[in-house]
């Protein structure tokens, strides 16, 4: 049995090494590589008709700010339809939406759901099928807590002038950074994820991920791949891979920033990351084999990147398993290599492996032109520990309950904004 444990541990370490190399590669590419940002300069054009979907479930604290920000945008008003989707809210959301619809007829056209499967994916599916005319060619999606700038819609629509682009993703920037240690850590994570990881993917022609908000999908591409699926908890990852497998490009626009409210409480964060985990794992199960078969239009490196992206939440339980095996082998007195070689290997792996993620975040912060917040870098480990346990627990329970049929419950992320105070606080000094 011991040789099996040893081999298993080697396999896990090898997978971690691959992810480590990927981190270093992406970060160095973002720092020194040529940036692909081909669409940011489009300022005037024959703008297509766009529908902006905003799924809402009890969003009275934030939806007003969101609609105000969109109505204040510079996208031609006659080309833009705002479609807040009220998904059985029990607070004041419905009243707020009716008020906006009355004040902005033809511009704000809420879609009210009173039945069917709950959750964002189902809401998007229903609204995208019923609430738009055939002249709408672009569907943008925002979460209700976001605050888009004036020019954001144009920036997000611009890539769709490229007929190969099926989806677009912008950069998400936390708004409530200075609320707690958690919000500060999430700010660092987001910086690494968008400023470095997503942009490097864009630079390298890999698979930038459509993130389900601050982005959108070409209507024809959406319906070509079968529309939004309501049986997934991560409709964004699912859509990314369905589009890529069908031959569409996903474009990332680092310049197109939108502010969001990140979870301020650990319980909200844990619920959020568990939902992401389950949704991402669903996408892994659905798409790893079609991706591995490599459709002719995909390059090998794109397939490799796609598989690593799909597996990113499966790494959590693998890492925990690795820790468990290491602990077991420690008690058994088993060494993976002879004498000094084992110590060298473990020390190098711990140092280089741990450092890769910190390097990515630190590079992102530095590129952002901010310096003070990078001092929190070592504290990322505490967020990492919480995430690792949450991801593992979500994965294990997902496998354990895989036999259950029917829709998975959707857990909404809690909002912390006080509506009467308006937009709470602005970005801290960076």
Partner 1 sequence: MPGKTPAAALEGARRLEALRIHGHLGGVIRPHRAMAGIPWTAWRFVTTVALGLGGFAGYVALLPFIGRFWQVLFERGRAWLGLEALIGDQLLVFPGGISFTVPSVEATTPIPDLRVLQIAGLVSVGVLLLSFLLPQRFTPLRYFLRLLAIVQGTAILFFWVSAEPFPYRIADHVFILLTAGLVVMGLVPLVLGLTLHVFDLAFWRKLGLTAAIVVHLMVFVPLNVLIHVWLLLHATAVVMPVLFLVFGLLLNVFIFVAFYGWALSWTGDLERRKLPPPVHLG
Question: Which residues of this protein are in contact with partner 1, per CB under 8 A?
Answer: 24, 28, 31-37, 40, 171, 180-181, 195, 199, 203, 254-255, 257, 265-267, 270, 326-327, 330-333, 340, 343-344, 346-348, 350-352, 354-355, 358-359, 362, 365-369, 371-372, 374-378, 381-383, 385-386, 389
Distance of closest approach, residue 281 Cβ to partner 1, in angstroms = 21
Residue 199 or 302: which CB sits closer to partner 1?
Answer: 199
Residue 93 or 392: which CB sits closer to partner 1?
Answer: 392
Tokens matching residue 246: 């069908």
Distance of closest approach, residue 358 Cβ to partner 1, in angstroms = 5
Q: Which helix (H) or strand (E) holds 283?
A: helix 266-292
Distance of closest approach, residue 409 Cβ to partner 1, in angstroms = 21
Q: Which helix (H) or strand (E) holds 328?
A: helix 315-332
Residue 7 or 343: which CB sits closer to partner 1?
Answer: 343
Distance of closest approach, residue 242 Cβ to partner 1, in angstroms = 27
Residue 18 or 327: which CB sits closer to partner 1?
Answer: 327
Residue 257's nearest CA partner among 202, 200, 207, 213 is 213
Residue 295 or 324: which CB sits closer to partner 1?
Answer: 324
First vs last Cα of the chain: how many Å apart? Answer: 54
Cβ–Cβ under 8 Å, residues 390 and 273: yes
Cβ–Cβ under 8 Å, residues 113 and 85: yes
Residue 15 or 28: which CB sits closer to partner 1?
Answer: 28
Distance of closest approach, residue 385 Cβ to partner 1, in angstroms = 5
Residue 101 or 326: which CB sits closer to partner 1?
Answer: 326
Distance of closest approach, residue 306 Cβ to partner 1, in angstroms = 22
Distance of closest approach, residue 298 Cβ to partner 1, in angstroms = 21
Distance of closest approach, residue 367 Cβ to partner 1, in angstroms = 5
Cβ–Cβ under 8 Å, residues 307 and 288: yes
402 Cβ neighbours under 8 A, 6+ residues apart: none
Q: Cα–Cα distance between 124 and 216 in angstroms, integer?
A: 12
203 Cβ neighbours under 8 A, 6+ residues apart: 29, 30, 33, 34, 35, 36
Residue 292 or 347: which CB sits closer to partner 1?
Answer: 347
The sign one gets for the Cα dihedral 418, 422, 423, 425 is negative
Beta bridge mates, 173: 259
284 Cβ neighbours under 8 A, 6+ residues apart: 310, 311, 313, 314
């Amino acid at each position: 049995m011991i040789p099996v444990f040893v081999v298993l541990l080697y396999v896990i370490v090898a997978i971690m090494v691959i992810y480590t190399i990927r981190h270093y590669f992406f970060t160095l590419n973002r720092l020194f590589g040529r940036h692909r940002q081909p669409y940011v300069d489009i300022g005037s054009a024959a703008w297509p008709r766009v529908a902006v979907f905003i799924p809402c479930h009890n969003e009275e604290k934030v939806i007003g700010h969101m609609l105000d920000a969109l109505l204040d945008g510079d996208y031609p008003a006659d080309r833009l339809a705002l479609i807040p989707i009220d998904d059985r809210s029990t607070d004041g959301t419905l009243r707020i939406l009716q008020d906006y619809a009355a004040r902005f007829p033809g511009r704000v056209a809420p879609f009210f759901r009173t039945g069917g499967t709950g959750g964002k994916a189902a809401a998007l599916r229903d609204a995208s099928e019923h609430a738009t005319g055939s002249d709408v060619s672009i569907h943008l999606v925002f979460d209700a807590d976001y605050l888009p700038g004036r020019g954001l819609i144009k920036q997000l629509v611009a890539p769709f002038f490229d007929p190969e682009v099926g989806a677009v993703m912008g950069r998400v920037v936390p708004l409530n950074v200075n609320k707690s240690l958690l919000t500060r850590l999430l700010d660092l994570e987001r910086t690494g994820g968008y400023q470095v990881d997503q942009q490097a993917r864009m630079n390298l022609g890999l698979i930038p991920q459509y993130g389900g908000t601050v982005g959108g999908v070409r209507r024809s591409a959406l319906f070509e791949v079968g529309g939004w699926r309501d049986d997934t908890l991560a409709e964004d990852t699912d859509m990314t891979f369905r589009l890529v497998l069908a031959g569409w490009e996903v474009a990332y626009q680092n310049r197109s920033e939108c502010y969001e409210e990140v979870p301020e409480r650990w319980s909200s964060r844990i619920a959020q990351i568990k939902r992401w985990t389950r949704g991402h794992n669903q996408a892994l199960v659905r798409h790893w084999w079609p991706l591995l078969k490599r459709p002719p239009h995909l390059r090998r490196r794109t397939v490799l990147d796609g598989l690593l992206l799909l597996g990113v939440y499966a790494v959590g339980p693998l890492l925990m398993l690795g820790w468990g095996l290491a602990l077991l082998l420690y008690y058994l007195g088993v060494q993976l290599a002879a004498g000094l070689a084992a110590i060298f290997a473990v020390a190098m792996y711990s140092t280089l492996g741990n450092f890769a993620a910190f390097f990515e975040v630190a590079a992102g912060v530095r590129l952002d032109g901010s310096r003070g917040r990078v001092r929190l870098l070592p504290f990322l480990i505490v967020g990492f520990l919480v995430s690792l346990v949450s991801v593992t627990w979500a994965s294990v329970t997902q496998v354990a309950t895989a036999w259950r049929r029917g829709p998975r419950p959707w857990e909404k992320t809690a909002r912390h904004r006080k509506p009467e105070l308006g937009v709470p606080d602005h970005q801290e000094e960076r």
